[in-house]
Amino acid sequence: MLQGARLTTWELHKKGIEVTAICDNMAASLMRQGKINLVIAGADRIAANGDTANKIGTYGLAVLANYHRIPFYIAAPASTFDLTIKTGNDIPIEQRDPKEVSELFFEKPIIAKGIKIYNPAFDVTPSGLITAIITDKGVIRQPYKENIIRTLKDSLRGSKV
């Protein structure tokens, strides 16, 4: 729920990094105008093949970046990898409270009673749309299956990764 606006911008600003917040719906237009030259997103879970689950909307940004030939990176610690999950299709996706969509930021509900609300917290970005995965153990590039294990080999010993 607005994590980029509430948390990510604050963290970047505190580190002295210039940051500009935009609405999600602006990304395509700004990419078309050449105002975005790379995209970095986080990940909540990364599968063995490099597919990543992150906050909803990440997949759409990856598709847009790919279309506009803009590099799309994932930045996540080694602990985010779960090699027991083969692909992103196997990552469970949490359904959030429908009230987040219908009334959380409004004085009155904005959606009529009886209307179904679909509110997944995450989406999955296929590894083919990811330029590289930046981790605390190094940068991982295609082919992900081999390079994830090679880069994280020391982290894998005796862990659930």
Which of the four pLDDT bands, split at 50, 70 and 90, describes residue 161?
very low
Q: For 37-80, write each residue's pLDDT tens digit.
A: 999 999 999 999 999 999 999 999 999 999 999 999 999 999 99
Q: Please report where in the chains the tokens 């940068």 appear, as a residue.
A: 139
Which of the four pLDDT bands, split at 50, 70 and 90, describes residue 102?
confident
Total domains present in the chain: 1
For residue 159, being part of any structural domain is answered with: no
Q: Please give the Cα distance from 58 to 64 (Å, whole number).
A: 10
- Spell out the residues 6+ positions from residue 56 whose beta carbon is closer than 8 angstroms to its own: 120, 121, 122, 123
Which of the four pLDDT bands, split at 50, 70 and 90, describes residue 2?
low
Residue 149 DSSP code: H
Please determine, for residue 160, whether its predicted confidence score (pLDDT) is greater than 70: no
Q: For 36-49, write each residue's pLDDT tens digit.
A: 999 999 999 999 99
Catalytic-residue membership of 44 = yes
Please determine, for residue 158, whether its predicted confidence score (pLDDT) is greater than 70: no
The closest alpha carbon to 123, from 91, 148, 145, 84, belongs to 91
Catalytic residue among 44, 90, 97, 136: 44
- Spell out the residues 6+ positions from residue 158 whose beta carbon is closer than 8 angstroms to its own: none
**pLDDT recorded at residue 92:** 93
For residue 158, being part of any structural domain is answered with: no
Average pLDDT score, the chain: 91
**pLDDT recorded at residue 42:** 94
Q: Using a pLDDT cut of 90, give the percent of the chain over it.
A: 70
Q: Please give the Cα distance from 51 to 86 (Å, whole number).
A: 9
For residue 123, being part of any structural domain is answered with: yes
Domain extent for 47? 3-153
Give the domain CATH number at 123.
3.40.50.10470
The neighbouring-strand residues paired with 139 are 134
User: Are 54 and 122 spatial neighbours (Cβ–Cβ below 8 Å)?
Assistant: yes
